[in-house]
């Protein structure tokens, strides 16, 4: 996810990150990205007010390309499953269902089954990394035998069945 976010920054997009997993997964990773002039914000799940503002802004956005990176879409959806956060959950659902507003979503998940089917249907391209349960690939529109081996950065582009390698540039 970080490599894709860096690529978007280099392409001139404004990048916003929702870190629903916590910084421990990427020590200094998202914080380093936050220092880039093109990064609008890195918002953690516990920052409820900032998260609400970001989701509202993203839903209303048109114009300059934005990339919203969600590190832990499944964790974010679980975190918003709180009666006090119903509006945030509604905004997330709206954002995931929106298409063509100038906002691209790059999302990572631990549990494939937690991804909304409406969101999957709207995804023009699905990049699949190694899955612990290859049968989860069926949910992503590809056969289990196409799941890439556990090699860091190795992906299969589901709709093309093409294998690729993602590498992070040396510097932001």
Q: What is the pLDDT of residues 33-58, one digit of tens each?
A: 888 999 999 999 999 999 999 999 99
Assess whether pLDDT exceeds 80 at residue 5: yes
pLDDT, residue 171, reads 54
pLDDT tens across 113-151, in order? 888 887 787 777 888 888 888 888 888 888 889 888 888
> Which of 2-11, 55-64, 69-78, 108-117 has the lowest average pLDDT?
108-117
pLDDT at residue 69, as a whole number: 94
Asked if pLDDT for residue 24 goes beyond 60, the answer is no
Q: What is the value of pTM for the model shown?
A: 0.84
> Percentage of the chain with pLDDT > 70?
92
What was the pLDDT predicted at 17? 95
Instruction: Enumerate helices (H) and strands (E) in the chain, giving the number of each.
Output: 6, 7
More confident residue, 123 or 93: 93
- In whole angstroms, how far apart are CA 141 and each of 52, 126, 138, 145, 154? 31, 9, 5, 12, 18
Note whether 114 and 75 are within 8 A (CB).
no
Q: Please classify residue 114 by burial: count the beta carbons closer than 10 Å to its beta carbon, then call 0-12 exposed, 13-18 middle and 19+ buried.
A: middle
Burial 47-82 (b: 16+ CB within 10 A, else e): ebeebbebbebbbebeeeebbbbbbbbbbbbebbee
Q: Checking DSSP bridges between strand 127-128 and strand 154-157, what pairing results, if any?
A: antiparallel
pLDDT at 27: 54
Query: Taking a C-beta distance cutoff of 8 angstroms, is the pair 69, 1 a contact?
Result: yes
Cβ–Cβ under 8 Å, residues 110 and 70: no
Q: Does residue 28 register a pLDDT over 80?
A: no
What is the predicted pLDDT for the residue at 110? 84
């Amino acid at each position: 996810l970080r490599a894709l976010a860096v690529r978007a920054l280099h392409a001139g997009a404004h990048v916003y990150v929702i870190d629903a997993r916590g910084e421990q997964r990427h020590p200094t990773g998202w914080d380093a990205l936050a220092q880039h002039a093109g990064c609008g914000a890195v918002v953690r799940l516990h920052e409820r007010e900032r998260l609400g503002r970001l989701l509202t802004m993203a839903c209303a956005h048109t114009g300059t390309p934005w990339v919203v990176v969600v590190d832990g879409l499944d964790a974010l959806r679980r975190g918003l499953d709180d009666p006090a956060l119903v509006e945030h959950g509604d905004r997330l659902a709206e954002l995931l269902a929106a298409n063509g507003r100038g906002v691209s979503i790059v999302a990572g998940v631990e549990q494939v089954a937690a991804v909304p089917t409406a969101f999957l249907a709207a995804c023009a391209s699905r990049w699949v990394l190694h899955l612990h349960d290859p049968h989860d690939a069926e949910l992503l529109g590809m056969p289990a035998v196409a799941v890439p081996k556990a090699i860091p950065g190795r992906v299969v582009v589901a709709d093309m069945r093409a294998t690729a390698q993602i590498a992070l540039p040396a510097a932001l």
